[in-house]
Amino acid sequence: MEYTIQEQVLPERKAQLAREILEALPEWFGIPESTAAYVEGCKALPFAALYHGEDAVGFCALKQTASQAGELYVLGILPNLHRKGGGRMLMSWAEGYARKAGWKLLQVKTLDALARSAEYDRTREFYHAMGFLDLECFPTLWDEKNPCLVLVKPL
């Protein structure tokens, strides 16, 4: 598959793209309040959209969390394009952005294996393949049904 990346600058366009992609991923983003917070948060963050031809098919947003560290705030790709290279392309953009910004560490939060989810098993497998390491599980950071795993990647 051939993809292109476009860094989005208009806040409303970032929110629109995030909303469209996240709504297509209910197995991962099925809590409306949480999804709305991600969409709103994307407006003010560094943001890259993944295109296949003229169509936006994925995106990611980054958030600086400390002077030399940041977070992969949210990443999503349309389900029919999972495992087709788009996630790797977005991660490459994210790591490049982070390095240019002087970050030495990138983190991501996802659902821990304690929750037993086939979708999130694949998510953790992806992050591990991208070089992320499990750091710590916070069993109640989000809520008791959604234990949060923090993964980190040295840059």
Is there a contact between 21 and 78 (Cβ–Cβ < 8 Å)? Answer: yes
Residue at 126: amino acid letter: F
> What distance in Å separates the CA atoms of residue 38 and residue 88, rounded to the nearest whole number?
21
Reported pTM: 0.91
Is there a contact between 155 and 106 (Cβ–Cβ < 8 Å)? Answer: yes
Q: What's the pLDDT tens digit per position in 99-121?
A: 999 999 999 999 999 988 898 99
> What distance in Å separates the CA atoms of residue 152 and residue 14, rounded to the nearest whole number?
25
Tokens representing residue 96 in the block: 């490049």
Comparing 86 with 144, which gets the higher pLDDT?
86
**pLDDT, position 96:** 97
- Helix 11-23 vs helix 32-42: crossing angle, to nearest 10: 150
**pLDDT, position 144:** 86
